[in-house]
Amino acid sequence: MKQRILLGAEYSILEPLALFYLASIAKSEGLEQKIIMGNYPEYPEWKEAIDKFNPSLMGLTVYTGNHTKIAEFVKKIRAEKPDLKIITGGPHATYFPKQSLEFSDYVVVGEGFNSFRRIIRGESPPGILLPQTREPFPSSFREDFYKDSPKHLRNRIKNVILGTGCPFNCSHCYNSADIKDMEDFNEIDIKNLKKIYPSGRFFPPFQRSIKEVINEIEELQKISSETKFLFLEDDIFGMDLKWLRQFSKEYHARIPYHANMRFEFVDPEKDSGKERIDLLIESGCTGLSFAIECSDPVICKETLGRNHNEDLIFRVMHAMKNAGLKVRTYQMIGLPYGATTKPTKINLEADLNTLSLNVRLIKETGLPTFVWASTLAPYPGTKISDYCIKHGFYNGIFDNLSGNETYRIRSVLSHVKRWIGPELSPADYDVWLSHEEQEEYRDKLSSLMNYFPVLAMIPKGDELARKFLNQKDLSSAGLNKATRNFEYDNSLFV
């Protein structure tokens, strides 16, 4: 009887891409494999699959936020299946391997292809596994997953990744963390990791071969004829201009796609930016997603580690409109305001300013087509987490970050009453919002986050948002009431 492995990821309409490649490795090594997505927080689908499939190995993708509930799930399942060996990988396992080992037999750090293969072959003892070499992407094996998940099979939009990594240092992203600064690794570990990752990052920029990704897309079309559109999951698509030229030539716009992009890469004032836009269109791109994050350049640079400004954003939006591309923007509200070197707007005024930027963009350029907002979650191990703890925005107790999409629920930060500057510290008791003031701000943040996509699309939606958020009723009924009154007072929609 073949050895069996169950691969699990948290449920999402997006496909579990990493598990498709691990499934391919397992298949090539002679294992029976199954991919099951489980629903947070109890993951009953995993329990059912374990009972029916009876695997000897289970691999789980873990990120900071679902790690606590996954640990609880593993504890329960081990009581029933003591011989089941647990492998964990993903962001949380990579950046917190010692903690992950508390509920795992094997913890895979960084890119997992090499370590996963060694586990299957019995070449590595249980414990924390560092990569010994970087393996190229294996083929993607999706077919059995689609049999178990017909909803994903029927989805006309499929997900593909053509490259990994990002060269930027955004403070809220794990990619900004340097291996040498991580507490879970000793000097020997760091030395060995540096051989694999000379840049000091676990996920440096890497571009897959064009032949490889075209083969994967063609195979996807054979498996799922319903596929009509692709969402490319690359952090930034087409960074390598030489690669993008060849991709455009060979891909022949087989299936139209949407991709993630940085403003800096498509600046129409640069020859490379203009060429990249042309190549994207030629290759079948219909739209791009950009992270604005915050409208204030001081906050962007000093707090978030981003260095774009309004001029660049407006230039790119005009170029996107002229090219006929759709655009989605991302932003964060409820940031740790008030500790920058220069005075800035803070709290709700800063949040509304970010909304206002989107409203002005749409008025002047016709884009973005869609906007999205979240609050900031200071995940441990990121630079923004250290920043928040240092200045007093966060208490460093990360249990309240354990949850499904914490950043979409309610802000966990504390906020100040006014701008203070870099000297802000937790000891400045008189500058922080009172408990009642903080809860009121969090209520408003939640409502603004939920209705941000709607408000951004309305002319003067930032003004409407201010009127709405000054009401007691922050529900959809309250927004409807504010809209009716606003329309009457301003003849807004006449």
User: pLDDT tens digits for 225-267?
Assistant: 999 999 999 999 999 999 999 999 999 889 999 999 999 999 9
Q: Which two tokens stand for residue 74?
A: 């593993």
Question: Do 356 and 373 meet the contact criterion of CB atoms below 8 Å apart?
Answer: no
Each of the 494 residues of the chain gets a pLDDT tens digit; together they read 689 999 999 999 999 999 999 999 999 999 999 999 999 999 999 999 999 999 999 999 998 889 999 999 999 999 999 999 999 999 899 999 999 999 999 999 999 999 999 999 999 999 999 999 999 999 999 999 999 999 999 999 999 999 999 999 999 998 878 898 888 999 999 999 999 999 998 888 899 999 999 999 999 999 999 999 999 999 999 999 999 999 999 998 899 999 999 999 999 999 999 999 999 999 999 999 999 999 999 999 999 999 989 999 999 999 999 999 999 999 999 999 999 999 999 999 999 999 999 999 999 999 999 999 999 999 888 999 999 999 999 998 877 776 656 667 789 999 999 999 999 999 998 999 999 999 999 999 999 999 999 999 999 999 999 999 999 999 999 999 999 988 644 444 44
Burial of residue 399, with CB atoms counted within 10 A of its CB: 0-12 exposed, 13-18 middle, 19 or more buried? exposed
| Confidence at residue 488, expressed as pLDDT on a 0 to 100 scale | 47
| Confidence at residue 396, expressed as pLDDT on a 0 to 100 scale | 84
Q: Which two tokens stand for residue 103?
A: 């509920």
Domains of the chain: 4-133 (3.40.50.280), 157-383 (3.80.30.20)
Supply the pTM of this predicted model: 0.94
Distance CA 66, CA 362 (A): 36
| Confidence at residue 492, expressed as pLDDT on a 0 to 100 scale | 46
CA-to-CA dists, residue 258 to 185, 266, 319, 368, angstroms: 38, 15, 16, 14
| Confidence at residue 487, expressed as pLDDT on a 0 to 100 scale | 67
φ/ψ of 471, rounded to 5, equals -85, 165
| Confidence at residue 454, expressed as pLDDT on a 0 to 100 scale | 96
| Confidence at residue 406, expressed as pLDDT on a 0 to 100 scale | 66
Radius of gyration of the chain (CA): 24
For residue range 294-333, what is the model confidence (pLDDT) as tens digits? 999 999 999 999 998 999 999 999 999 999 999 999 999 9
Distance CA 230, CA 243 (A): 19
Tell me the residue length of the chain: 494
SS3 assignment for the chain: CCCEEEEEEECCCCCCHHHHHHHHHHHHCCCEEEEEEECCCCCHHHHHHHHHHCCCEEEEECCCCCHHHHHHHHHHHHHHCCCCEEEEECHHHHHCHHHHHCCCCEEECCCCHHHHHHHHCCCCCCEEECCCCCCCCCCCCCHHHHHHCHHHHHCCEEEECCEECCCCCCCCCHHHCCHHHCCCCCHHHHHHHHHHCCCCCCCCCEECCHHHHHHHHHHHHHHCCCCCEEEECCCCCCCCHHHHHHHHHHHCCCCCEEEECCHHHHCCCCHHHHHHHHHHHHCCEEEEEEEEECCCHHHHHHCCCCCCCHHHHHHHHHHHHHHCCEEEEEEEECCCCCCCCCCCCCHHHHHHHHHHHHHHHHHHHCCCCEEEEEECCCCCCCHHHHHHHHHCCCCCCHHHHCCCCHHHCCCCCCCECCCCCCCCCCCCHHHECCHHHHHHHHHHHHHHHHHHHHHHHCCCHHHHHHHHHCCCCCCHHHHHHHHHHHHHHHCCCC
